A = this chain, B = another copy of it.
Amino acid sequence: METSASIRKRCSLKQELSGRPVEAERIRAVLDAARQAPSARNTQPWRFIVVQGEEAIDALVEAAFPGPSAIIGQAPVLIVACARPEDGVTRDGKAYYLYDLGSAVQNLLLAATDLGLVTHLIASFDEEQVKRVLHIPDDVRVVVATPLAYPRAASYDEAAAERLRERDRRGLEEVAFAGAWGAPFASAAGTAAQDIAPV
């Protein structure tokens, strides 16, 4: 799938998790995409725990993913992303292990979308219980988790259609500024374009 399509189509689809097994080579492919990400001073602080099998998934979900998020237990694969903050760079109070995991997991989610697999990023869980169940060391932080599954619908596009129609994002003019904080980029872009030579 084209890069721009994966970026546009990736969305959270916990209602669309089928139990159909996900092949090991596809799991490896999404993990391989994750580890290509950049990281501060190339520290690569990311670590992924791949949970498979009904018993293991039930134990994790029951302990750590209460309420509506328990639905992720319908997936054949759960991936838990974590890092030891000390493995990453911290600068002026900014803990870049979190930034680096965001980059790596975004690669993973886009690679999954490209393979027709659905995901659903979750940052809300009982971290202590995740660590207990998965034997994660005390000094490691659990940052996000996602199921990895084939969609219930006939295709990824069908599974994602409604969700994408409802997508709610701030407009470009609200998040992008031209030259200084607060000056919308969108309006400035029209002017700047006059000076630009054709490709």
A interface list, Cβ under 8 A from B: 1-8, 10-12, 21-25, 27-29, 31-38, 40, 42, 44, 46-53, 56, 89, 91-92, 94-96, 98-107, 109-111, 113-114, 121, 123-124, 127, 134-137, 140-141, 143-144, 167-170, 172, 175-182, 185-186, 189-190, 192-193, 195-197, 199
* Interface pairs (5), CB distance under 8 Å: A49-B177, A94-B98, A95-B98, A98-B99, A99-B99
Closest to A178 in B: B50
B1 touches A140 (CB 8 A): no
CB distance from A34 to the nearest CB of B (A): 8
B23 touches A8 (CB 8 A): no
B189 touches A28 (CB 8 A): yes
A38 touches B110 (CB 8 A): no
Q: Which residues of B contact A48 (CB under 8 A)?
A: 175-177, 185
How many angstroms from the CA of A90 to the CA of B96 in the assembled complex?
14
Contact partner of A94 (CB less than 8 A), chosen from B4, B105, B143, is B143
Q: How many chain copies? A: 2
Q: Which residues of B contact A123 (CB under 8 A)?
A: 40, 89, 91, 96, 99
How many angstroms from the CA of A176 to the CA of B110 in the assembled complex?
18
Closest to A40 in B: B123
Contact partner of A24 (CB less than 8 A), chosen from B89, B136, B177, B193, is B193
| With contact pairs A7-B33, A8-B36, A52-B179 given, residues A189 and B24 touching in the complex (Cβ less than 8 Å) | yes
Closest to A26 in B: B199
| With contact pairs A1-B2, A38-B121 given, residues A175 and B47 touching in the complex (Cβ less than 8 Å) | yes
Contact partner of A197 (CB less than 8 A), chosen from B21, B29, B121, B144, is B21
Q: Which residues of B contact A95 (CB under 8 A)?
A: 95, 98
A180 touches B91 (CB 8 A): no
Q: Which residues of B contact A195 (CB under 8 A)?
A: 21
